[in-house]
Structure 1
């Protein structure tokens, strides 16, 4: 099947042949054009590099930080425990994870409405690793013009060692990424020696290899293709933009008509704009777009074009800001509305969810209790005539230290039972059957609401209670 869409050029190119229709073909897929990103310095690139290095170092170092006898951050899947510094979470608390993901989503919506795709340009993992790979490329193969010349030239000793060294470093970074990622699930201080002597589990090798391959491919080869074609954020971000969203834009009215000139030429007298058409903004763009063509979904707001253009404006003696963070309203000479209903709505929702999440975490009781009444029979009559109900208890110690819990029941006068204390190690659970009984003379209803309570003996404030029912026959 052909990958060409048949189209017809209906443009009236001449009076003599205005009835002629020429059949042409247009490719369904655009061939990838390799982007040779030029390195640039400036304020925004310093900010981006600082955030990139902070995120990268945080990712690589966090699994190595000890916290008692375990890593500070450790997602223990076999033990079904998720340790984040002093807090330990369990599968039954996954609602907190869902809540956290919703908070992150609303945070992304708020940032997008306010400042476009700054997340992509400064903190997205794909951008962080891609910029790191490009940085390695600059260090080994040289600046942009040398890399272009190197790729166009034939293979010799210089090209061989530069390409080999670059890909070797890329693979080392990918290996460090894969090992670190697995280190969040397997204590990394044990994992690294086991990997080195081939004593790690098969799944550890699989996942390390998986992340090595995909880090190497995504950051080294695919790069901007991930942002343009694989990332869904690039597609739905336009729904959240408005004319007051802060975006990287070219000031068309100031820059046009563009053209080369000497520094001594006064652009106003020459009837030209401030843009000297140097294409430096295109050369530094990691996605290869021309910001002068207007707002494009490919722009990740990394501001490399701003720093590049500002450096040119400085050399020409022109004011900075031909390319800058601005809004569509500002470019049209209108007032920008920072506080607008949608932005305020996202902010209020975000702050409310963060506040409730923090309160839930602070008020979280590291103890869980399940109480289930025996449904096989409503009640039983003991040898002494008392009416008894049986209950299955499951006590889960969600704390990081052992506790002994005292069981308490209330709800009916004279209610008695085997409420002996139960000891539960840290992070584990214990089950038992509890039988409660009462003198039938005290029963005036067919069922009663009761409360079963577990209280830590060493910490009376560590307590949890559950409601249940007691079934009996009234006198």
Structure 2
């Protein structure tokens, strides 16, 4: 054991400590983004598109149908009313199908055209642009707002800021009242809120969503898109080289830089210049404050504001439009965008299947549900006439929106005697409880447990007959 273990000299490892200056920049508060107004066909389309769905959101809870609110998602009563359709907790599979259809529709649209949901339909984007519109009308254009914030507080600045925040709070309050109106009768909600007579949960919900809307659209804005929204993080899994996204064409735009407007477009290449004049308008109009010229970024919401801004500059310079456009990676590399591709077709097929399953479930849905509860005090008893009797409680749920009359019969038990209501009327959306007893002679029973069915059907010669067979047991011995 005299052998020694050879020792190898190792140079010390250099420890790289984080730069304190980089850390300060990394965790510094964000700079405020002053979004510049832009005009163009995409911006016009986005505005009307957003206003259209905003109008639908605001008007739907006020619609009346057959004397009741057309859309009412009553959580306390566990009843969702959608025009002629009433959904109950037992219809949870329908709600699951609706969510699945929505998810695959989002996947399909994202694979085809990127984050157009974020740029054109997302409530966060819509309300943020509404709040920015109030900023522009009250405080002025982008440059005026920047100068206003740099000024010390004076009377002019105070009343402009006060008026802006009052407008923001008003929009937030109306938004919250409308949203909560989907879950409680909206007419009563507005009256009760103004007169301070709302219930605790209704009042709390209105205040909560008012604060959320005011904070998200007024103060947080792009933070919701860049740091809090999970969709921005997993969207890349749905992208491919043929996905249409807002992109800058570096082959055409570089080398960027200022130049005289009189310089013809045909002479740019001779001077070693591209089409981009480096005006930074694409950055100034971006609601998330990114530079689209740096390539595809997860912060981009595909709103197309930079497209309109750049096309406006190209018009003024007499250059061809499309330096920034909705295009694909394949097209930027000189290829051709393939619209029909396996991934997109796959999403579309699955979407069609799920829509078909949803429609099938809606068509096969029976607006009647029956539950049978046996008497737990005694399995059976013998009557004074010598008959064997079982006692049950029938729970009949009328899942339609109109009053229905039902006929109750027993199937599977010969020569039975029925005691209780064989005809019962139930209001729409209500549950009726009916105790009944069924008796028969012991000679009719071949075994201790007999399978029977309660047959419940509607009595309405003018309408569609709805019937349900609910299984139970008839016990003896």
How far did 1:30 drift? 4.2
Pairwise CA distance, 1:186: 2.5
TM-score, normalization by structure 2:
0.89
Match of residue 51, structure 1, among 49, 55, 66: 49
Deviation at 1:440, TM superposition (A): 3.6
1:39-438 pair list within 5 angstroms: 39-265=37-263, 266-374=267-375, 378-418=379-419, 420-438=422-440
Find the counterpart in structure 1 of residue 23 from structure 2: 26
Equivalent in 429, 436, 456 of residue 458 of structure 2: 456
Q: Give the direction of change, closer, same or farther, for the CA distance of 1:352–1:69 in structure 2 (3 Å limit).
A: same
CA distance in 1, matches of 2:16, 2:37: 40
Q: Secondary structure at the match of 2:439?
A: strand
Shift of 1:361: 2.1
Q: Following TM superposition, where does structure 1 have runs of at least 4 consecutive aligned residues deviating by more than 6 angstroms?
A: none
SS at match of 2:107: helix
Is the 1:7–1:23 Cα contact (8 Å) retained in structure 2?
no
Q: What is the CA-CA distance between 1:48 and the residue it aligns to?
A: 0.9
Are the counterparts in 2 of residues 255 and 322 from structure 1 also a CA contact under 8 Å? yes
**Closer, same or farther: CA 23–38 of 1 in aligned 2, 3 Å:** closer
Matched, 1:467 2:471: yes
| Deviation sequence 1:249-302 (CA, Å, 0-9, x none) | 111111111111123322122221111111111010000000000000000000
Offset, 1:376: 5.9
5+ residue gaps, structure 2: 1-14
State the alpha-carbon separation in 2 of the partners of residues 374 and 447 from structure 1: 15
| Alpha-carbon offset, residue 406 of structure 1 | 0.4
Alignment partner of 1:270: what SS? coil
Contact map agreement 1:70 1:187 (CA 8 A) in 2 = no
Deviates more, 1:337-346 or 1:234-243: 337-346
Question: Contact 1:75 / 1:81 at 8 angstroms: preserved in 2?
Answer: yes
Q: What's the offset of the Cα at 1:374?
A: 4.5
> Residues 190-224 of structure 1: CA distance to partner in whole angstroms, max 9, x if unpaired?
22222222222233322221111111111011100
Which is further off, 160-169 or 200-209?
200-209
Mapped partners of 2:57, 2:415: distance in 1: 58
Extract unaligned runs of 5+ from structure 1.
1-5, 10-21
Contact 1:63–1:188 (CA under 8 A) maintained in structure 2: yes
3-state secondary structure, aligned to 2:302: coil
What do the CA deviations read for 1:302-347 (whole angstroms, capped 9, x no partner)?
A: 0101111111111112211111111111111223232222222221
Pair 441,103 (structure 1): closer, same or farther in 2 beyond 3 Å = same
Deviates more, 1:461-470 or 1:233-242: 461-470
Q: Do the aligned residues in 1 keep the contact of 2:380 with 2:389 (CA within 8 Å)?
A: yes
- Deviation digits for residues 123-167 of structure 1, max 9, x if unmatched? 011111101001111111111111111111233332222222111
1:397 Cα deviation after fit: 1.1
Aligned positions, number: 456
* SS in structure 1 at match of 2:270: helix
RMSD: 2.2
Task: Tell me if the contact between 2:459 and 2:465 (Cα under 8 Å) persists in the aligned partners.
Answer: no
- Paired residues of 1:447 and 1:469 also in contact (CA < 8 A): yes
Displacement, 1:51? 1.6
More displaced 10-residue stretch of structure 1: 413-422 or 227-236: 413-422
Alpha-carbon contact 1:121-1:302 (below 8 Å) kept:
yes
